[in-house]
Amino acid sequence: MLTVAEAKEIILSAARTRPPCDKPLSEALHGVLAQDVTSPIDLPLWDNSAVDGYAVRAADLTGAGENNLIHLRVTAEVPAGRSANVKLEPQTCMRIFTGAPIPEGADAVVMQEDTRPHHEGYIAVIESVDPGENIRRAGDDVTKGEVVLRAGILLGPPQLGMAAATGLAQLAVYPRPRVGVLVTGAEIVEPGRSLHPGQIYDSNSFALSAFVNEAGCETVELGIADDTREDLHEKIDYGLSECDVVITVGGVSVGEYDLVKDVLTELGCEQKLWKIAMRPGKPFVFGTRGDKLVFGLPGNPVSAMVTFLLLVRPALLKMRGLTGIELPSVSAEVTEDFVNSGDRPHYMRASLHQDGDRWRVRPMPRQGSHVISSIANANSLVEVPEATTIPRGQIVKAIRLSGNE
């Protein structure tokens, strides 16, 4: 049986980005940038005022103070969006507003707060200024040709703002993978309906679709397949034609109704691995058809979620173009023993909390792979090697259950 690390390596080597496409900025949030972005212009584009005030020649205000008011004639007004079409003459000033271009001849701006209105058409200045004061210089933020966004970054609001400031209307991003989720099992019923004897509600498609969305991918609901070759064949075939990745849940174990593996072979998928030394989640299939990936997850809800987080999520993030593909984790002190008497590493659900500046973690009391309430009340996983007890007081790595924490 493969270890989790071996399985992950096989999976990641098959997970690749799709060719990038140009997206308008309004659709590029959470996309991953495929190319460096260089600015076609200087930012600011020209010298401009950092304040509302008066554009001046600093030399005209030498020695200005409360007891030495210097009077300047106001010759023009320069609001943002316009520029002065005359030169500033000595002993004069121009009214100027934040962001407006500095008129020719001016070398500083006096803040409005350091002036008083004087008689008609004049101001009195009560503070001197240094040359350059309150001027934002052209190219001070970004110079033309400079790389402002690096390939591989995740585009968040500030990065979109940066691109827009340079005048770019679209960015080359990797397409978000389309991920089909198919649950399988004759007993599975959509929530909201009534149950007949032997039936249970489908929890996996909701949890997994939400995880897929959280991983920044698009979910395609493929529905619920019966445990028959025909139904599985039809639904997986459809998924492979529509999606970059297909995730099936259930039917990958060794029972007579566990037909997913056979159907994948029928559909021309190459099986890359089956069975991983881990708990929960030993039965797990991974295959490829061309550049499409297929994951067959075990049906028990906890197994499905844990295998998704440890083995599928990193592949989806890699396909999005990201390099940081691991779930966040913290070092935490164990407050109750973690006991694994089994022969496979156990990813135990755990409760992690911060106590002052320390993190503390304890196992959830029930670890059965059907105990969905214990993953719903947990917020982390702790890997406990086979036949091992991690005692109180030890420091362990607690893996968060969500990439958003």
Binding site for ligand AMP (CB under 6 A): 183, 185, 187-188, 200, 202-205, 249-251, 253, 298-301
How many Cβ atoms are within 10 Å of 30's Cβ, its own excluded?
Answer: 12
Give the nearest distance from C-beta 256 to Mg ion in angstroms.
11
How many Cβ atoms are within 10 Å of 190's Cβ, its own excluded?
Answer: 12
Whichever of 119 and 196 has its CB closer to ligand AMP, that residue is 196
Give Cβ neighbours of residue 100 (< 8 Å, ≥ 6 apart).
48, 49, 78, 79, 80, 81, 82, 83
Residue 298 touches which member of ligand AMP, Mg ion, none, C-beta under 5-8 Å by kind: ligand AMP
Whichever of 142 and 306 has its CB closer to ligand AMP, that residue is 306
Beta carbons of 83 and 131 less than 8 angstroms apart: no
Give the nearest distance from C-beta 179 to ligand AMP in angstroms.
16
Q: Count CA within 13 A, CB hemisphere, residue 15.
A: 28
Residue 125 touches which member of Mg ion, ligand AMP, none, C-beta under 5-8 Å by kind: none
Give the nearest distance from C-beta 273 to Mg ion in angstroms.
20
Binding footprint of Mg ion on the chain (CB under 5 A): 185, 250-251, 299
Give the nearest distance from C-beta 191 to Mg ion in angstroms.
18
Whole-number Å distance between alpha carbons of 196 and 207 = 23
Whichever of 281 and 299 has its CB closer to Mg ion, that residue is 299
Give the nearest distance from C-beta 222 to ligand AMP in angstroms.
12
Give the nearest distance from C-beta 315 to ligand AMP in angstroms.
21
Residue 183 touches which member of ligand AMP, Mg ion, none, C-beta under 5-8 Å by kind: ligand AMP
Whole-number Å distance between alpha carbons of 240 and 226 = 18
3-state secondary structure labels for all residues of 59-116? HHHCCCECCECEEEEEEEEECCCCCCCCCCCCCEEEEECCCCECCCCCCEEEEHHHEE
Whichever of 52 and 202 has its CB closer to Mg ion, that residue is 202
Give the nearest distance from C-beta 303 to ligand AMP in angstroms.
8
Residue 363 touches which member of Mg ion, ligand AMP, none, C-beta under 5-8 Å by kind: none
Token representation of residue 208: 């997994």
Whichever of 227 and 383 has its CB closer to Mg ion, that residue is 227
Token representation of residue 83: 């520029």
- Give the CA angle between residues 145, 151, 157 to the nearest 5°: 90
Whichever of 154 and 294 has its CB closer to ligand AMP, that residue is 294
Whichever of 163 and 371 has its CB closer to ligand AMP, that residue is 371
Q: Which residue is nearest to ligand AMP (CB)?
A: 299
Beta carbons of 4 and 277 less than 8 angstroms apart: yes
Give the nearest distance from C-beta 223 to Mg ion in angstroms.
15
Residue 188 touches which member of ligand AMP, Mg ion, none, C-beta under 5-8 Å by kind: ligand AMP
Beta carbons of 45 and 169 less than 8 angstroms apart: no
* Interhelix angle 313-320/4-14, nearest 10 degrees: 30
Whole-number Å distance between alpha carbons of 232 and 288 = 17
Whichever of 191 and 391 has its CB closer to ligand AMP, that residue is 191
Residue 200 touches which member of ligand AMP, Mg ion, none, C-beta under 5-8 Å by kind: ligand AMP
Give the nearest distance from C-beta 199 to Mg ion in angstroms.
12
Residue 314 touches which member of Mg ion, ligand AMP, none, C-beta under 5-8 Å by kind: none
How many Cβ atoms are within 10 Å of 1's Cβ, its own excluded?
Answer: 12
Alpha helix locations (H) across 243-371? 260-266, 301-307, 313-320
Residue 159 touches which member of ligand AMP, Mg ion, none, C-beta under 5-8 Å by kind: none
Beta carbons of 125 and 69 less than 8 angstroms apart: yes
Separation in Å, CA 167 to CA 37, 49, 245? 11, 21, 35
Residue 253 touches which member of Mg ion, ligand AMP, none, C-beta under 5-8 Å by kind: ligand AMP
Whichever of 101 and 250 has its CB closer to ligand AMP, that residue is 250
